[in-house]
Chain A
């Protein structure tokens, strides 16, 4: 009798625990996902619905006017900003990956004087507050004719991202057994050949994760872009969006539609490559 009582008690406590788990998980996910739902909702409703006293939690009459509007030549041209953002983000990602592979291989595999100090210097460069660099950036870029150019943006963002990419790839390369490389070298491959034929393919997950990190950062970078770009023609999405909010703050339908377009690429990539990103972000943070 006593025994079965204890068993029921144990059972219910386990069941309550389950219910509590699901309860708190629901709250957590609602907190993190509701804002997305809300901007998507806002962006597909006509204007008069937005300023109604009771907001619609489920859309009543869906239309895509806001999207059509912002992609046409309106007050703020999101199509151009989207194009600029994608050009910059893709270039930054490619350049970072290529240079990152070089540097990471040097640090992970080659013996040279000062490698320790240079590596730490990279970490420090990574941690510098961007605001401390902006004034000279602006002045130097102006002299070089790089303000109000997409190239300027690419150079700036690449220099900010290269340290972290190097670091992620370094920690990847470190996990690759030397034997793999050695056997290729015995077969006659050069060091560079072994890097390209053995190390790069094996560290594809690391490449993907640092690539996505570059892309996400570049698509969202705002402060640096604001310092060196002040012509609408070269606006990236965050710049266009910020201008939209300041100048036409009443048009939340269009603003949220632009926000959805800004966020859709980074989010899609992150969901697609989720597993790799987790590995990339936790590189060095967890003892293996």
Chain B
């Protein structure tokens, strides 16, 4: 027996044994805390479980899923998510690229600027929400104050409870937090472009904006892809910011799919319906992840 154990722990002979021991903790956790819950909620999404009668599971087939596609509230939340994802990722891409191009130039204070630009990324979303909520305050908010001083508005506006402005400002706050991540990824991509390419283009009379479109953009297409996909997945899952800034309001103008799922689970206690909604969100994320893995593999090869 003793010899058996010794032989099992003889890692020098077999990679597989050592690998098994080394990856076990990670996979136990990931299986226990990710895969098992995933199956759990999958089963739940085909039932009719409510929090009040939690043990009472009746199989109802795909009717929760049918409900999602006919529920105007859910359809609205998907539209909110789509709008949010589209604008936040687009703005981050454009701003991220412009800022990265600037930060690639040589200027006084470049390294400190590069360091400081990461700060928003380290800021917890709850703090981001609160910061912007305070700056957007309807009576003493600094943004109202500045806009009035500049003559852009005449009266203070309660931005976050206004149908027109609630969503744009949630997006603004998210752009503020998320752009630095895009900058970092894109800047790293920019730094791999050999300077000779620009010199050659300059000789051919193409520089400035033309060189940007013919050299820079094509050369950073991979970091742009990666940051877009990661940014999209993050934006689909965005919750904290909505929760702190608007709680989904006014009405349901800013209730995104994730917040809608949360509300159904932890506010209305429709556990099965919430599971079905989460599964619809999950399918979207998985499709994007497949795209991500495919692109990454292609790049590695």
Chain B residues positioned under 8 Å from A191 (CB to CB): 11-12, 18
Number of interface residues of A (CB under 8 A): 96
Are A282 and B185 within 8 A (Cβ)? yes
Chain B residues positioned under 8 Å from A70 (CB to CB): none
Q: Tell whether B132 is near chain A: CB-to-CB under 8 Å.
A: yes
Are A134 and B29 within 8 A (Cβ)? no
The CA of A137 and the CA of B122, in the complex, are separated in Å by 26
Are A106 and B22 within 8 A (Cβ)? yes
Are A269 and B30 within 8 A (Cβ)? no
Q: Tell whether B130 is near chain A: CB-to-CB under 8 Å.
A: yes
The CA of A124 and the CA of B286, in the complex, are separated in Å by 7
Q: Tell whether B296 is near chain A: CB-to-CB under 8 Å.
A: yes
Closest to A130 in B: B237
Chain B residues positioned under 8 Å from A110 (CB to CB): 15-16, 18-19, 22
Q: Tell whether A196 is near chain B: CB-to-CB under 8 Å.
A: no
Q: Tell whether A262 is near chain B: CB-to-CB under 8 Å.
A: yes
The CA of A58 and the CA of B22, in the complex, are separated in Å by 55
The CA of A156 and the CA of B113, in the complex, are separated in Å by 35
Q: Tell whether A252 is near chain B: CB-to-CB under 8 Å.
A: yes
Q: Tell whether B123 is near chain A: CB-to-CB under 8 Å.
A: yes
- Whole-angstrom distance from the CB of B130 to the nearest CB of chain A? 5
Q: Tell whether B124 is near chain A: CB-to-CB under 8 Å.
A: yes
Q: Tell whether A76 is near chain B: CB-to-CB under 8 Å.
A: no
Chain B residues positioned under 8 Å from A231 (CB to CB): none
Closest to A216 in B: B122
Known contacts A130-B237, A222-B240; A111 and B15 CB within 8 A of each other: yes
The CA of A33 and the CA of B278, in the complex, are separated in Å by 35
The interface-forming segment of B38-46, B65-73, B162-170, B196-204 is B38-46
Closest to B134 in A: A252
Interface residues on B, range: 35 or more
Q: Tell whether A61 is near chain B: CB-to-CB under 8 Å.
A: no
Chain A residues positioned under 8 Å from B289 (CB to CB): 123-124, 127
- Whole-angstrom distance from the CB of B203 to the nearest CB of chain A? 16
The CA of A91 and the CA of B132, in the complex, are separated in Å by 31
Are B18 and A192 within 8 A (Cβ)? yes
* Residues of chain A from 145 to 179 with CB closer than 8 A to chain B in the complex: 155-156, 158-160, 162-163, 166
Q: Tell whether A205 is near chain B: CB-to-CB under 8 Å.
A: no
Chain A residues positioned under 8 Å from B134 (CB to CB): 38-39, 42, 252, 255-256
Chain A residues positioned under 8 Å from B216 (CB to CB): none
Majority SS at the chain B contact face: helix
Residue of A38, A130, A192 near B135 (CB, 8 A) is A38
Q: Tell whether B227 is near chain A: CB-to-CB under 8 Å.
A: yes
The CA of A222 and the CA of B129, in the complex, are separated in Å by 12
Q: Contact mask A34-45 → B, CB, 8 Å, 1/0?
A: 011011001000
Are B266 and A227 within 8 A (Cβ)? yes
Q: Tell whether B119 is near chain A: CB-to-CB under 8 Å.
A: yes
Are B145 and A35 within 8 A (Cβ)? no
Are B15 and A128 within 8 A (Cβ)? no
Q: Contact mask A11-41 → B, CB, 8 Å, 1/0?
A: 0000000100110110011011101101100
Q: Which 8 A-B pairs rank lowest in CB-CB distance, beginning with the nearest?
A: A220-B124, A136-B37, A159-B33, A132-B278, A136-B40, A102-B22, A110-B15, A270-B122
Chain A to chain B contacts (Cβ below 8 Å), 10 pairs: A32-B117, A32-B180, A53-B140, A122-B26, A127-B288, A131-B281, A133-B41, A216-B122, A245-B130, A274-B118
Give the interface of A toward B (CB within 8 A): 18, 21-22, 24-25, 28-29, 31-33, 35-36, 38-39, 42, 50-55, 99-100, 102-103, 105-107, 110-113, 115, 118, 120-125, 127-137, 139-140, 155-156, 158-160, 162-163, 166, 190-192, 216, 219-220, 222-223, 226-227, 237-238, 241-242, 245, 252, 255-256, 259, 262-263, 266-267, 269-271, 274, 277-278, 281-282, 284-287
| 11 further A-B pairs in the complex, CB-CB below 8 A; given A25-B102, A135-B275, A155-B33 | A18-B107, A53-B140, A105-B22, A110-B22, A131-B237, A162-B26, A222-B124, A238-B127, A267-B119, A278-B188, A284-B226
